[in-house]
A and B are shown apart, each in its own frame.
Chain A
Amino acid sequence: MWFNKLNINIAKTHLFAKKKQTIVASLGVTFGIAMFVLMISVMTGVNKILEETQLASTPHVRIYRDISNDRPSLLSQILGTEDWAVVHHQKPKDEPLNLRNGLLIARSLEADPRVLGVSPQLTSQVFFNYGPAQLSGILTGVDIEKEDLLYNVKGKVKSGSIEALLSSNDGILMGQGLANKMNVKSGDKVTVTTPRGDIVLLRVVGTFAMGIGQIDNVRCYANISTVQKVMQKDTRYITDIHVKLKELNQSLTAATEWQSRYGYRAEDWETANATILVSFTIRNMMTGVVVVTLLVVAGFGIYNIMNMTVYDKMKDIAILKATGFEGRDIIGVFISQAAFIGMMGAFAGMLIGLFLSYLVSRAPFDGGEFLSIDHFPVNFDVRFYVFGLVFGVLTTILAGYFPAKKASKIDPVSILRG
């Protein structure tokens, strides 16, 4: 009834009789949608890559032994009172930082249905001797296959392979930044000084780059047994358990639960990365504000255009009504026009947005030390395009509906009287 053939034909004639006006109106929609697509793709692209690189190398829950200092002093233990005996600068007890039963805990965690992967590990500060200079680094002993499950190490390997690490007992997988600094390649041997002062010779079997300077410049992976040997510890010595969950947002509840169950500190992702999290929230909020502003501006632009399109045709509306057209026919005519303008404009806007996003994504961009990217990050998410299209078409139709509704109610004489 609204969209019978006659009404659509009238709409068509209006659109094609004034091609320039139709194109200008569509361009208004095009511009809004193209800007929306470009902005949201670029902004979420940046957010996503930052979030991903951060998340990709962080455990959801990390279980370790905290250095505790709150034991009662020897003096007050002997005297049986805390009232007047004050011990300043009490040092922590010389207790090992390992998790007793660490491997057992790891195994029981693996049985938890919420858990995606568990990687027990031990880490040690070391110095890499590079000629006269000493570079500080961290030697992390891992089951590299489990670590891979958590952090996709395989995908981050730049040279060598993780298999090479598995089959050697003195091999290390070195962070790319560290390798560059020391000018070593796969196959080279490096001298390592442990905190106790021992010197060992290890072989570089590969290099990796997580994309985060903080890691790539200091970390080396080795087999757990290798690091245990370097540190002269027994084969059950584990200092950390990294856990990746299936759902990131379960990390706090899981951490709390495990802390009380195992008696070790279990730190969830959010607590460990509170500052990063705040910056994510702020960035996402900013993206939201920019996008909403953009859509509102685009919406008003579209509304203005459709308003003009309808008011431009006031005389025609009066004539149509005088010759027997009802209010809904008038609305049908203009909604058809709005739908056409909206679809043309939004589709073109989508394509232009895609093209501009592509150009931006090709633009060279140096992430520097912090991020290993060489092009601007752009998020090509189909949902943005679908949303842009739907928003463009719906807004245009609505923007056409309201003035058409108003126009459909006017008395034709008020216009025909002249």
Chain B
Amino acid sequence: MEKVLEAKKLNKFFNDPAPFQVLKDITFDVNKGEFLSIVGKSGCGKSTLLYLLSTMDTEYDGELYMAGTKLTGQSQNDLARFRSKHLGFVFQFHFLLPEFTVLQNVMIPALKLGERSKEEIEVKAIEKLKLLGMDEYAMKRSSKLSGGQQQRVAIARALINDPTIIMGDEPTGNLDKKNSELVFRIFKDLAEEFKQTIITVTHDPDFAEKSDRVIEMSDGQIIKGL
């Protein structure tokens, strides 16, 4: 199996308010096309780990490889370009740009990547929104949506550039049963058909159970699923 992500001895400290080690020697691999769930008690460091993997938090010890590139030590701008091309991210607290429409929010990462024309991107963005049942809201200001609706738009945005890896921090946290199922189906299809890798943090046991592999964390360490 082709490895798409490699984490080697990741350690992360917070110094505020008191020195405190959040992640302890986290080492694991993820294969291409794998659908991975990370579970664990609240406060055990799941989000912190996901931020490291997303390359947005660069203050850590250890090494991180993704899509054959060593990301540890790269400049902010290089990491931004890498994210643009290879990563799609759904935040725990769905973050959309409030002044922009739903459609614009989904299109912006693709416009930034600049690999397709605006027309193509628009068609694609509508397609992704349709996938998540949000196409009828395309022209609405994103700040006017409900929490669950915003979360689904954020998922559509994460998919727009066909990223190598899609990361989600409780991507279904605000969704009802029906929509959770929908999102799970979408992820599953992407992993199986398009060999995109999915890494999600979740509190939903059903969701975790149905995924390919589950990693369980406790107190900053992986205790199960290596």
| Mask: chain A, 1-44; 1 = CB below 8 Å from B; 0 = not | 00000100010011001100000000000000000000000000
Question: Does A374 sit at the interface, judged by CB under 8 A?
Answer: no
Name the contact of B59 in the complex, choosing from A18, A409, A411 (C-beta under 8 A): A411
CB atoms of A323 and B109 under 8 A apart: yes
Question: Does A322 sit at the interface, judged by CB under 8 A?
Answer: yes
| Mask: chain A, 312-326; 1 = CB below 8 Å from B; 0 = not | 000110111111111
Name the contact of A6 in the complex, choosing from B91, B95, B112 (C-beta under 8 A): B112
Once the chains are docked, how many angstroms separate the CA of A17 from the CA of B113? 24
CB atoms of B111 and A6 under 8 A apart: yes
Look across to chain B and name the residue whose beta carbon is closest to the beta carbon of A324. Answer: B84
Report B86 CB to chain A, min CB distance, Å.
Answer: 10
Q: Which residues of A lie under 8 Å from residue B58 when comparing CB positions?
A: 411
Once the chains are docked, how many angstroms separate the CA of A251 from the CA of B171? 84
Name the contact of A326 in the complex, choosing from B80, B93, B104 (C-beta under 8 A): B80
A324 touching B81 in the complex, CB below 8 Å, given contacts A6-B111, A6-B112: yes
Report B85 CB to chain A, min CB distance, Å.
Answer: 8
Name the contact of B56 in the complex, choosing from A17, A322, A409 (C-beta under 8 A): A322
Look across to chain B and name the residue whose beta carbon is closest to the beta carbon of A321. Answer: B80
Name the contact of B99 in the complex, choosing from A18, A318, A325, A416 (C-beta under 8 A): A18
Question: Does B42 sit at the interface, judged by CB under 8 A?
Answer: no
Q: Which residues of A lie under 8 Å from residue B57 when comparing CB positions?
A: 411, 413
Q: Which of the four size classes fits the interface of chain B?
A: 20 to 34
Look across to chain A and name the residue whose beta carbon is closest to the beta carbon of B87. Answer: A324
Q: Which residues of A lie under 8 Å from residue B56 when comparing CB positions?
A: 321-322, 411-413, 416
Name the contact of B80 in the complex, choosing from A324, A413, A418 (C-beta under 8 A): A324
Q: Which residues of B lie under 8 Å from residue A18 when comparing CB positions?
A: 99
Q: Which of the four size classes fits the interface of chain A?
A: 20 to 34
| Mask: chain B, 58-82; 1 = CB below 8 Å from A; 0 = not | 1100000000000000001100110
CB atoms of B112 and A418 under 8 A apart: no
Q: Enumerate A322-346 residues with CB–CB distance to B below 8 Å.
A: 322-329
Once the chains are docked, how many angstroms separate the CA of A77 from the CA of B76? 98
Question: Does B51 sit at the interface, judged by CB under 8 A?
Answer: yes
Question: Does B44 sit at the interface, judged by CB under 8 A?
Answer: no
CB atoms of B59 and A324 under 8 A apart: no
CB atoms of A324 and B51 under 8 A apart: no
Question: Does B187 sit at the interface, judged by CB under 8 A?
Answer: no
| Mask: chain B, 90-101; 1 = CB below 8 Å from A; 0 = not | 010101111110
Once the chains are docked, how many angstroms separate the CA of A411 from the CA of B56? 7
CB atoms of A322 and B97 under 8 A apart: no
Once the chains are docked, how many angstroms separate the CA of A53 from the CA of B91? 73
Report A11 CB to chain B, min CB distance, Å.
Answer: 11
Question: Does B221 sit at the interface, judged by CB under 8 A?
Answer: no
Question: Does B35 sit at the interface, judged by CB under 8 A?
Answer: no
A324 touching B100 in the complex, CB below 8 Å, given contacts A413-B51, A416-B95: no
Kindly list 6 other residue pairs between chains A and B, CB separation below 8 angstroms, not including A321-B56, A418-B93: A13-B104, A316-B99, A318-B95, A319-B96, A322-B91, A324-B84
Q: Which 3 A-B pairs have the closest CB atoms?
A: A324-B84, A17-B99, A323-B109
